[in-house]
Amino acid sequence: MADVLETKVAEPKEPVLAFGKKEKKLLTDPLSENNPITVQVLGICSALAVTSLVLPSFVISIAVIFVCAFSNLFTSLLRHYIPNQVRMIVQLVIIATLVSVVDYVLKAFSYEVWKQLSVFIGLIVTNCIIMGRLEAFALANKPWKSFLDGVGNGLGYGLILIGVAVIRELFGKGTLFAGSPIEMSIIGPSASYWINTAAESGIGTWFSWYANNNLFVLPPAAMFIIAIFIWIHRTWRPHLVDVS
């Protein structure tokens, strides 16, 4: 587990802001080959806590991309000055500061969403993806690469999070993006849903048997959905299969 991306930077003359093949790989690798959730097994807790609705998952994903990218950047900039014995405390101060920034920005610009999320924003501090990438990558690599690694891992995390949330909200509540301006009511027993299962005529009558599955709202459902994601992912990429 926790495939450590120990890439020692070989060429010292490289320009500071290059975007070549290696940099692109840093961005795309965490989307599938080295996905934080399904391959590195980091950051599961929030994946379970937040994903019963799409909107909070979306906001949390953006917050994680931001915190992960900039904490990677700052840790990488400071990597020669941090004594090994106190590195965790330094890293946590960086993370906690960035999380506070996200917290206050969200509070200022979107108070309703902040009220809904306040606990989970705080829990980004203990999201292991961020700490894991700092330990595994940013301490050994240059700032620009670390920044890209942070963005890539945040994206890979958001991809799974939103995937799980879409399934859980659709089957658990029959809606998508509930609470946001683009709220969609897909299926349910009243006229406000696109597919009205209580309707007398039309497409809804085909779904008169349908009822929301409350299991999908409970946290164990997220475990099953992620397990199925892992199954599909490893069928598609067999070299990721555990040998043990």
Partner 1 sequence: MEGSFVNIFIKAAFIENLVLMYFLGMCSYLAVSKSIKTAFGLGLAVIFVLAVTMPINWLIHEHLLSENGLFGRDLTFLKLILFIAVIASMVQLVEMVVEKVSPALYNALGIFLPLITVNCAILSGSLFMVTREYTLGETIAFGLGGGFGWFIAIVALAAIREKIRYSNVPAPLRGLGMAFLITGLMGVAFLGLMGIDPAALQ
Question: Which of 31, 48, 62, 178 touches partner 1 by CB under 8 A?
Answer: 48
Phi, psi of 26 (to 5 degrees): -60, -35
Q: Which two tokens stand for residue 203?
A: 């497409």
Residue 4 or 203 with smaller CB distance to partner 1: 4
First to last CA, the chain: 11
Q: Are 141 and 76 in contact, with CB atoms under 8 Å apart? A: yes
Contact between 132 and partner 1 (CB under 8 A)? yes
Q: What is the rounded distance in angstroms from the CA atom of residue 203 to the CA atom of residue 87?
A: 60
Sequence-ordered alpha helix ranges (H) in 10-142: 21-28, 44-50, 54-77, 87-109, 111-123, 128-136
Contact between 118 and partner 1 (CB under 8 A)? no
Residue 48: CB minimum distance to partner 1, A: 4
The size of the interface with partner 1 (CB under 8 A), counted in residues, is 49
Q: What is the rounded distance in angstroms from the CA atom of residue 48 to the CA atom of residue 14?
A: 41
Question: Which of 34, 35, 38, 197 touches partner 1 by CB under 8 A?
Answer: 38
Contact between 231 and partner 1 (CB under 8 A)? yes
Contact between 112 and partner 1 (CB under 8 A)? no
Question: Which of 62, 77, 140, 218 touches partner 1 by CB under 8 A?
Answer: 218
Residue 17: CB minimum distance to partner 1, A: 30
Q: 63: closest CA among 26, 90, 94, 101? A: 101
Stretch that binds partner 1, among 39-47, 54-62, 142-150, 200-208 (CB under 8 A): 39-47
Question: Which of 26, 42, 102, 164 touches partner 1 by CB under 8 A?
Answer: 42
Going by the DSSP 8-state scheme, the letter that residue 206 receives in this structure is G
Which positions from 62 through 101 interact with partner 1, judged by CB under 8 A?
Answer: 85-86, 88-89, 92-93, 96
Going by the DSSP 8-state scheme, the letter that residue 213 receives in this structure is -
Q: By three-state DSSP, how is residue 242 classified?
A: coil
Contact between 56 and partner 1 (CB under 8 A)? no
Q: Are 163 and 229 in contact, with CB atoms under 8 Å apart? A: yes
Footprint of partner 1 (CB under 8 A): 1-2, 4, 38, 41-46, 48-49, 85-86, 88-89, 92-93, 96, 122-123, 125-128, 130-132, 135-136, 218-224, 226-227, 230-235, 238, 241-242, 244
